[in-house]
Amino acid sequence: MHWRCVRPLFWLALLAVLAGCGETPTGRSQLALVPGPLMADMGGDAFDQLRNTQPISRDAQANRLVQCVAEKVVAGAKASYPGLEFPERWEVVLFEDPSPNAFALPGGRIGVHTGLLQVAETPAQLAAVMGHEVAHVLADHGNERLTQQLGIKAVLLVVGLLGEGEFGSQQLMQALGVGAQLGISLPFSRTHEEEADLMGLEIMARAGFDPQQSVALWRNMAAHGGSQPPELLSTHPAHKSRIDALQQGLEEVTATYRTVTPAAC
C-alpha cells in the first residue's frame, strides 16, 4: 500500500491513541481505547450469557445480604470517586457456584458466587471483595486489558475500521475478567489487582464497612485456598503480599471509616 493511502489511517490511529491516554482514579497512566458505551454493551452481553448458562441462587436470606452489601458498596464508590460516571442502576446476581469468587462488569453488573459466602464471614468481608471488583470497573481495567490484547485492532475499532464482531467473545470475556465457560473470575494483571485492592479499601470504608475486615477476608481466603503458585508465576499477589499491602493502607481509610455511619446489612 502506498504511503499516501496509509497516511490518513496513521493520523487517525495516532489521534485515537492520544485520545485513549489517560489516568486511573489513583493517578496511574493508562491506555484504554475501547469506547465506554461499547464496554458497557459487552459487559451486558457477558452478564446475560452467564445468567442464561449458570444456575442462580434462590436463597432469600443470602440474596438480601448480597443486595444490601452491593447497594452500600456502590454508594461508597460514588462517595469515594464523585468525578467518575456511574451507571444509573446496578444489576446484582447471586450465582450458585461453590468457588469463592465475585466479579463486576462494565455497565453496572455484579456477580457473586455462593461459595464466597462461605469464606466472607461478615458483611464487611463481603464488601471487601465487592469493593475490589467494582474498583476494577471504575479503573477501566477491562478496557485497558482489552486494548492490550487487541493491539492495532483497538485503534481500528476506535476509528471505525473494525467491528465488535471481528474479535471473539472468549477474548472479550477474558478481558472483562470472567471465564465464559465456567463463570469463574479471572485474574487481572498484578498492577490491576493491587490498584483494585487499594481502591476497594477506600470504597468499603466510605460505604460504612470496617476496612480492617479486608485483612480478615484475605486470611480466610489463604486458609480456604490452600497452596498458591510462587508469586512470580501468578498475576494475583500472594496472600501474604496482599495482606501486607492492605495493612499499609489501613491507617488512612480507617480514619475515613470513623467519619461515616457504620453499615448495617
From 2, 8, 34, select the one nearest 154 (Cα to Cα): 34
- Three-state secondary-structure class, residue 128: helix
Q: How far is CA 131 from CA 13, 22, 106, in A?
A: 35, 22, 14
How far is the CA of 229 from the CAs of 188, 226, 232, in angstroms?
Answer: 16, 10, 8
Cβ contact 186:174 at 8 Å: yes
Q: What angle do CA 43, 116, 243 make, to 5 degrees?
A: 95
User: What is the per-residue DSSP string for 196-229?
Assistant: HHHHHHHHHHHTT--THHHHHHHHHHHHHH----
Give the largest CA-CA distance in the chain: 66
- Measure the CA–CA gap between 209 and 87, rounded to whole angstroms: 22
Please identify which of the residues 23, 96, 133, 166 carries the catalytic annotation.
133
Check if the beta carbon of residue 97 is closer than 8 Å to that of residue 119: no
Mention every residue, 6+ apart, whose C-beta is less than 8 A from residue 63. 57, 94
Active site annotation includes 133: yes
As annotated, the active-site residues are 133
